[in-house]
Amino acid sequence: MLRLFTAIPYVWLLILFLVPFAIVTKISLSDYAISIPPYTPTLDLSEGWAGLRGFFAALDVENFVFLTEDDLYWKAYLSSVQIALVSTVLTLGVGFPIAYAMSRAPEAWRPALMMLVILPFWTSFLIRVYAWIGILANEGFLNQFMLWTGLIAEPLQILNTTTAVYIGIVYTYLPFMILPIYASLDRMDPSLLEAAEDLGCSRLTAFWHVTWPLARPGVIAGCFLVFIPTVGEFVIPSLLGGSDTLMIGKVLWEEFFSNRDWPVASAVAIILLLILVIPIVLFQRHETRQRERGG
Amino acid sequence: MGLKLIGAALASTALVSMAMAEEVRVYNWSDYIDEELLTKFEEETGIDLIYDVFDSNEVLETKLLAGGSGYDVVVPSGTFLQRQIQAGAFQPLDKSKLANIGNLWDVVQARTEAYDPGAAYSINYMWGTTGLGVNVGKVQEILGEDAPIDSAALVLDPANMEKLADCGVHFLDAPTEIIPMALQYIGEDPDSHDPDVIAKVEPILMGVRPYIQKFHSSEYINALANGEICVAVGWSGDVLQARDRAAEADNGVEVAYNAPKEGALMWFDQMAIPVDAPNPEAAHKFLDFIMDAQNMAAASNYVYYANGNAASKEFLVEDVIGDPAIYPDEATLENLYTTTPYPPRVQRTVTRLWTKVKSGT
């Protein structure tokens, strides 16, 4: 009975990860065709063994070779990773002080503060990104406000630039940074800091020697939680970014919708996954080690 | 055996859905019908109408080619329709169920035959041109009284674009419409499928790229109407909707639409029934309803696009039938061209060129 119970995660993994992955891999090895579905070969079991052999014989890696021939793809991967890295650092910069302040707030306030961090999730993600269009546009709240205060004389072009993409990403992924950091800091015993100060540490060195090491597992978890989904982000760059914001999510969209080339689109997705496997494996390792240490 | 079981299961779900209220699912372009017609259809036929909208042919095509879209009526444009027919995405129309088919306009049909020979799979819903939406006052202020507002040179000549840039210029994010326009402008065949010929538009587009504020296929309606931008390369009816919104707002913005005098792209949106439509019977009823002269006229009067229905003309308001931007005169009609779908390899060249123009990579 218990064994059956432990098998559930594996079944989960099989259905929700391995099967879709196998399907996408298969499409990436196929060829474009004008048909439903728009690629060939498709698996036809009615022909039995010969059909199956023909099916595998028709698969090849030419789509992957194609990706190496055009500099668009590696530039898009590189630019996505770069945008994700910068966003992660920015999110950490904004998220850490918030998490820190939350963990130092009076006990009675904390549930309410936690609520405030989670609250935006109650609204659709898409609507929240659209709201930023209203804030950042040339006629938007931010520009109107800055014009009114006399800070600027001409509206700033923020919307449709990479800056807007960074703002959107930091805003959207902030809770994923705050919550794990807060979880680490919340467990910290404040008397440790008192002890450090008694032993002659300044507040800054106490922070560096006590708080930071204790917060680090949360910081690392938060960084991965922000970095990994950001690399493949599509909605934020397409709504807030300009046409010169190059991200792999947009390239993938164009392969699917403009070129209708599902095989090349699948190849782009597979490479993206391979790029992400490295940080995902690192993250898993880190989590396991953390659990071992905790237990 | 397995197939039989699936067949039985399908039959029983069909029975269940017949026991419930009958419904028909229509997938059309956004802002493309008078919504009162939808209620009217439900009242006349007793069929529940589920009406969804899209804003790009690419999205529709991806749904159709994935199979099982669940829609009974869809509205692709001509070139897309042609490729989808080839892919086997539609079922032939049963014309015995379309009593109003005689209302269709032979002049339009003669042109849509290129996409759907014998009109076997589709009927024309509306058609229009791709051209220039202009904020007349501002453009004349910048370029002078004789500003070329009826020429592609307005948006493809860097000398003009440089001056217009600060005021704002939007382009449709639709390579299959902009590239033919640029080809026509430099005197090449707008429907060329030769990658070497298509490559000739790259320097033209790159030359004006720095002055284009945005590539987008629907935002320009509001932007033109509010006076936020001076020029948009857009679709005829959309620009006319902007003109009306500006007039209603009474904000002093005067918007005009012109098809480029060098020749303009004429496109057709066709209604068709997917091969796996759950309710083809009701789909035919919907097509017949749309082809009714008064219904079709109501739709055109509402969205400012010409339709492919000759009988509807007598019910069109003067604003629509009398406007040469919507119903062009003979001479302009001669000056319009159509395009055909690109083969996959050429499509890739076109998309790649477009990415390069937009992102510089």
- Share the mean pLDDT of chain A: 89
In this complex, the residue of B66, B228, B361 whose CB is nearest that of residue A72 is: B361
A193 versus B8: which is more confidently predicted?
A: A193
* Cβ-defined contact of B361 to A243 (cutoff 8 Å): no
> pLDDT at position A294, please?
65
Q: Which superfamily does CATH assign the domain made up of B2-128+267-329 to?
A: Periplasmic binding protein-like II (3.40.190.10)
* Cβ-defined contact of B87 to A38 (cutoff 8 Å): yes
Q: If you write DSSP's letter for every residue of B159-220 in order, what string do you get? A: HHHHHHGGG-EEE-S-HHHHHHHHHHHTTS-TT---HHHHTTHHHHHHHHGGG--EE-SSTH
> Mean pLDDT throughout A224-241?
92
What are the structure tokens assigned to B194, written together? 């030769």
* Cβ-defined contact of B66 to A37 (cutoff 8 Å): yes
Residues 6+ apart with CB under 8 A from B146: none
Residue A43 has pLDDT above 90, yes or no: no
State CA A270 to chain mean position distance: 16
Residues 6+ apart with CB under 8 A from A157: A138
* Cβ-defined contact of A259 to B89 (cutoff 8 Å): no
> pLDDT at position B19, please?
46
What are the structure tokens assigned to B71, written together? 């829609």
Residue B15 has pLDDT above 50, yes or no: no
Residues of A in contact with B62 (CB under 8 A): 256-257, 260
Closest-CA distance, A55 to chain B, in angstroms, reads: 20
* Cβ-defined contact of A244 to B358 (cutoff 8 Å): yes
Q: How far apart are CA B299 and CA B266, in angstroms?
A: 19
Beta-bridged to residue B235, according to DSSP, are B130
Q: How far apart are CA A193 and CA A188, in angstroms?
A: 9
* Cβ-defined contact of B348 to A261 (cutoff 8 Å): yes
Give the residue from A165, A260, A268 with the most B CB atoms within 10 Å of its CB, the best one to mutate.
A260
Q: Which of the residue ranges A188-192, A203-207, A288-292, B232-236 has the most confident prediction, judged by mean pLDDT?
A: B232-236
ipTM above 0.85, yes or no: no
Q: CA of A31: which chain B residue's CA is closest?
A: B344
Q: What percent of chain B has pLDDT over 70?
A: 94
Give the pLDDT confidence of B158-215 residue by residue, as tens digits. Answer: 999 999 998 999 999 889 999 999 999 999 999 999 999 999 999 999 999 999 988 8
In this complex, the residue of B56, B87, B175 whose CB is nearest that of residue A34 is: B87
Residues of B in contact with A72 (CB under 8 A): 352, 355, 361
> Mean pLDDT throughout B9-22?
53
Q: If you write DSSP's letter for every residue of A25-90 in order, what string do you get? A: HHHHTSEE-SSSSSEE----GGGHHHHHHHHHHT--SHHHHHHHH-HHHHHHHHHHHHHHHHHHHH
* CB-based contact A102:A114 (threshold 8 Å): yes
Residues 6+ apart with CB under 8 A from B244: B304
Task: Break chain A into its structural domains and give their ranges.
Answer: 1-60, 67-294
Q: CA of B88: which chain A residue's CA is closest?
A: A35
Q: CA of B345: which chain A residue's CA is closest?
A: A259
Q: If you write DSSP's letter for every residue of A230-250 in order, what string do you get? A: HHT--HHHHHHS-TT---HHH
What pTM, to 2 d.p., does this model score? 0.81
Write out the residues of chain A at the interface with chain B, using a CB-CB cutoff of 8 A: 32, 34-38, 70-72, 75-76, 138-139, 160, 242-246, 251, 254, 256-261
Q: CA of B68: which chain A residue's CA is closest?
A: A36
* Every domain range in chain B assigned CATH 3.40.190.10: 2-128+267-329, 129-266+339-359
Give the pLDDT confidence of A110-159 residue by residue, as tens digits. Answer: 999 999 999 988 999 999 999 999 999 888 899 999 999 999 888 888 88
Kindly indicate the confidence band of residue B20, based on its pLDDT and cuts at 50, 70 and 90: low
Residue B11 has pLDDT above 60, yes or no: no
Residues 6+ apart with CB under 8 A from B283: B24, B72, B73, B273, B277
* Cβ-defined contact of A75 to B83 (cutoff 8 Å): no
Q: CA of B227: which chain A residue's CA is closest?
A: A139
In this complex, the residue of B66, B86, B351 whose CB is nearest that of residue A34 is: B86
Q: How far apart are CA A1 and CA A5, in angstroms?
A: 6
Which residue blocks in A137-190 are alpha helix, DSSP H? 141-149, 162-186
Residue B345 has pLDDT above 50, yes or no: yes
Task: Say which CATH class A67-294 falls into.
Answer: mainly alpha
Number of other CB atoms surrounding residue A69 within 10 Å: 8
In this complex, the residue of A32, A243, A256 whose CB is nearest that of residue B62 is: A256
Q: Residue A80 — φ and ψ, nearest 5°?
A: -65, -45
Q: CA of B215: which chain A residue's CA is closest?
A: A243
* Cβ-defined contact of B58 to A70 (cutoff 8 Å): no
Sign of the alpha-carbon dihedral angle for B349, B353, B356, B358? negative
Check whether the bond before B190 is cis (ω within 30° of 0).
no
> pLDDT at position B3, please?
45
Residues of B in contact with A32 (CB under 8 A): 344
Residues of A in contact with B361 (CB under 8 A): 71-72, 75-76, 246
Number of other CB atoms surrounding residue A212 within 10 Å: 12
Question: What are the CA-CA distances from residue B118 to residues B87, B95, B109 (Å)?
Answer: 17, 12, 9
Count chain A–chain B contacts defined by CB atoms under 8 A. Answer: 68
* CB-based contact B297:B108 (threshold 8 Å): no
> Mean pLDDT throughout A88-94?
97
* Cβ-defined contact of A35 to B59 (cutoff 8 Å): no
Q: CA of B361: which chain A residue's CA is closest?
A: A72
Number of other CB atoms surrounding residue A74 within 10 Å: 13
In this complex, the residue of A37, A71, A257 whose CB is nearest that of residue B59 is: A257
* Cβ-defined contact of B87 to A35 (cutoff 8 Å): yes
Closest-CA distance, A150 to chain B, in angstroms, reads: 22
Residue B343 has pLDDT above 50, yes or no: yes
Closest-CA distance, A152 to chain B, in angstroms, reads: 18
Q: CA of B56: which chain A residue's CA is closest?
A: A257
Tell me which fold the domain B129-266+339-359 belongs to. Answer: D-Maltodextrin-Binding Protein; domain 2 (3.40.190)
Region of poorest pLDDT, from A279-288, B104-113, B275-284: A279-288
In this complex, the residue of A36, A244, A259 whose CB is nearest that of residue B89 is: A36
